[in-house]
Amino acid sequence: MNFLKKELSPVFAALAIQAVIFGGLSLLRPVIAEAIDMPVPLLWLALTQGLIAGIVTRGFGFSIPWVIGQLVAPPLLLFALVLDLPSWIFPVILLLLILVFWNVAVGRVPLFLTNRTTSVAILKLLPKKKGVQMADLGSGLGGTLRHLAKHRPDARFTGLETAPIPFALSWLLGRLSGANNLAFRFQDIFRADLGAFDVVYCFLSPVPMPELFKKAKAEMKPGSLFISNSFEVAGHKPHKIVEVDDRRRTKLLVWRM
């Protein structure tokens, strides 16, 4: 069912779904208007468009945040048009979205965050020895590393991120936290030397996992830990699975290199 999502970037797939439904509704609009003997209100059309788009998007195997986005986008767009907002608002909103969700279109990795219960579980997985080096590959807003850095002042934490707004926020919040064992780098995870770390953590998506695991295998030192939040690596069974007691039943997959 999710072939559309696999063949196209999810952003383009979602836009394509909206475009096809918009085309269909535009063709049907005069027919419905004739049947009900009045022009079809734009609000009805926007709500119907959102509803159908949400259902179809779910049918193609997209997750709930995507479905909600598809549901609310048409009515929101209509409200924005009715409010007669200045036209520069739309490119600015689009630019902000691109700067936040930078890695969705190309790497197919969205921005969602590790919750606190999971951060506590990761803390327990860190080796007890002093001077442990840990990386969060795709560190988002940096919350996981800020938490870990606070509780393990003897260890050193590095976040790698290429989405401009999350990177800037993580850097700023890291500075404001006052932690001196925490750094954020604007760097693609595939360009990093993973051999520098005793623990590598990632919470990405199924798409980059095979290539990333290959890189980790080639570069990481024997005995170091590779931890993936939720996403498996086909053909490579983790050595340990930690089941986190949170609402989404998070699984931390742990490989010892």
Ligand X SMILES: C[S@@+](CC[C@H](N)C(=O)[O-])C[C@H]1O[C@@H](n2cnc3c(N)ncnc32)[C@H](O)[C@@H]1O
Q: Which is nearer to ligand X, 50 or 140 (CB)?
A: 140
109 is a site residue for ligand X (CB under 6 A): yes
Q: Which of 21, 148, 155, 160 binds ligand X (CB under 6 A)?
A: 160
163 is a site residue for ligand X (CB under 6 A): yes
228 is a site residue for ligand X (CB under 6 A): no
Q: Which of 126, 140, 182, 255 binds ligand X (CB under 6 A)?
A: 140
C-alpha span between 150 and 242 (Å, rounded): 22
10 is a site residue for ligand X (CB under 6 A): no
How many other CB atoms sit within 10 Å of the CB of residue 241?
Answer: 11
Scanning 38-46, 54-62, 157-165, 249-257 for contacts with ligand X by CB under 6 A, the matching segment is: 157-165
Scanning 64-72, 91-99, 184-192, 231-239 for contacts with ligand X by CB under 6 A, the matching segment is: 184-192
Q: Which is nearer to ligand X, 161 or 198 (CB)?
A: 161
Q: Which is nearer to ligand X, 53 or 109 (CB)?
A: 109
CB 149 within 8 A of CB 182: yes
C-alpha span between 232 and 62 (Å, rounded): 18
Q: Report the b/e string of 65-100 with b at 16+ CB within 10 A.
A: ebbebbbebbbeebeeeeeeeeeeeeeeeeeeeeeb
CB 134 within 8 A of CB 200: yes
Q: Which of 166, 197, 199, 257 binds ligand X (CB under 6 A)?
A: 166
Q: How far is the CB of 4 from ligand X (least distance, A)?
A: 22
Interaxial angle between packed helices 143-151 and 116-125, expressed in degrees from 0 to 180 and rounded to the nearest 10: 50
Give the interface size with ligand X as a residue count (CB under 6 A): 25
114 is a site residue for ligand X (CB under 6 A): yes
Backbone angles phi, psi at 134, to 5 degrees: -125, 145
Q: Which residue is nearest to ligand X (CB)?
A: 138
C-alpha span between 255 and 257 (Å, rounded): 6
Longest dimension (CA), the chain: 77
Contact residues toward ligand X (CB under 6 A) are 102-103, 107, 109-114, 136, 138-140, 143-144, 160-163, 166, 188-190, 203-204
